[in-house]
Structure 1
């Protein structure tokens, strides 16, 4: 058995050329965000972070030797539709997530990951009636429940980076709602100690969302007004990325 804790990032989407080149893509961005540095480990056990491109058919994370599997799994964002029924890798991912959940593995879902986990575990996801949400939005957080679940004090209102046109429309059974926003009722939910999902992007930086907005505008996927509103949203202050990072790490690493 390998020493230290092991985590797998399931890459479900290809980032823009800019984000792949500058930041290494969605999988590496989340691994970088969540990995403890030497100071945080304080001489404690090491961590291994492996990225599996499930969108390209890599499901080898399921075939680890006994005792050498992962302590936690992170599912990234994607431009794909989590509600699609005729996409092979999505159907395989649904089965994989059910299997991992049955093994009581930690599962952290981000954006598409939030949606696909909700679907896999009995909820419903689909296209949002309100259309795209882009830029920095305000989330209302059930901070008391977050504190009870993760021993973490976070504000009841936080700012988060959003980039989605789909939503979780119905929570899975046994899920607890942790956060909502004006246009997205289910922004964050948990199931027991094993599942935490959030629609927002704790791994994004301002340049990443700006590149996404401009790319979608150039492809006529969003309106000029929506793009301007998204880019202007950073003017009201930065997103609370440090708070979201802390929450994700508390979930994955606090036993």
Structure 2
């Protein structure tokens, strides 16, 4: 069972930037406000006496105004969301601009958390390689094998060696960035989670997804023939075998973003 890190910052006001890289389905946008709002709501602390500001920047629509604060300590951390876009695309302006921005923030030692596409684009920007997974789509609740010792060393968390997580991707980190430490893997995805130093964390899974969001996404992909009936059936059945360990992953994300240096 995870425990919160005692080094978590006690600053009264903290600021975080969510970099929106994709749009949710009609249902997700209507019910939850989309991926960026889901992440901000998930990671925001509501404790009495604590103040946090979560700003959202739609980089998919060209909003990179968060860089106006790039040279100071205005933001305590940045979170890059999931997306239907390809992190390995080289002919998309906003993706190329995002890579440049992440390189800059990394050089400044900013705290960067990437989720799914965010995990992949972080790896690419910092010198790794991403691309289509040879095994095809990975969708549903999957078991991750976690290097508990490394997680404990980096973040001060007692973390289990096996974690169930919600997956939804056809791309992967094929080669992690130079200097990266691999923290988790799964049967179909070698690099499920990686860290670079103490300020970069990427995770392929979706701690922000709920079962209804995932089922809506699966049904949408079936109707558009993006995934096969077999992939969809396996994914839907995975929710019947037990819940994903979302609370554990949320603690990891919060501890990474909010611990003291």
Correspondence for 1:194 among 171, 190, 199: 199
Question: Aligned with 1:90: secondary structure?
Answer: helix
Deviation at 1:53, TM superposition (A): 0.5
Query: Could you say which structure has the greater relative contact order, defined with CA pairs below 8 angstroms and 6 or more residues apart?
Result: 2
Output the CA distance in 2 between the equivalents of 1:161 and 1:184.
Answer: 13
1:30 matches 2:35: no
Output the CA distance in 1 between the equivalents of 2:51 and 2:39.
Answer: 17
Partner of 2:242: 237
Distance 1:181 1:70, change over 3 A: same
Partner of 1:70: 75
Give the ranges of 4+ consecutive aligned residues of structure 1 lying more than 2 Å apart after TM superposition.
64-69
Deviation at 1:68, TM superposition (A): 5.9
Output the CA distance in 2 between the equivalents of 1:129 and 1:206.
Answer: 26
Deviation at 1:154, TM superposition (A): 1.1
Q: RMSD over aligned Cα, in angstroms?
A: 1.3
Deviation at 1:66, TM superposition (A): 5.9
1:6 matches 2:6: no
Deviation at 1:46, TM superposition (A): 1.0
Output the CA distance in 2 between the equivalents of 1:65 and 1:106.
Answer: 12
Normalising by structure 1, we get a TM-score of 0.96
Superposed, 1:1-255 pairs within 5 Å as: 4-38=13-47, 42-43=48-49, 45-64=50-69, 67=72, 69-255=74-260
Segments of structure 2 that go 5 or more residues without pairing to the other structure are: 1-11
Question: Aligned with 1:236: secondary structure?
Answer: coil
Deviation at 1:64, TM superposition (A): 2.6
Check the 8 A contact 2:130/2:173 in 1, yes or no. yes
Normalising by structure 2, we get a TM-score of 0.94
Partner of 2:9: none
Deviation at 1:65, TM superposition (A): 8.1
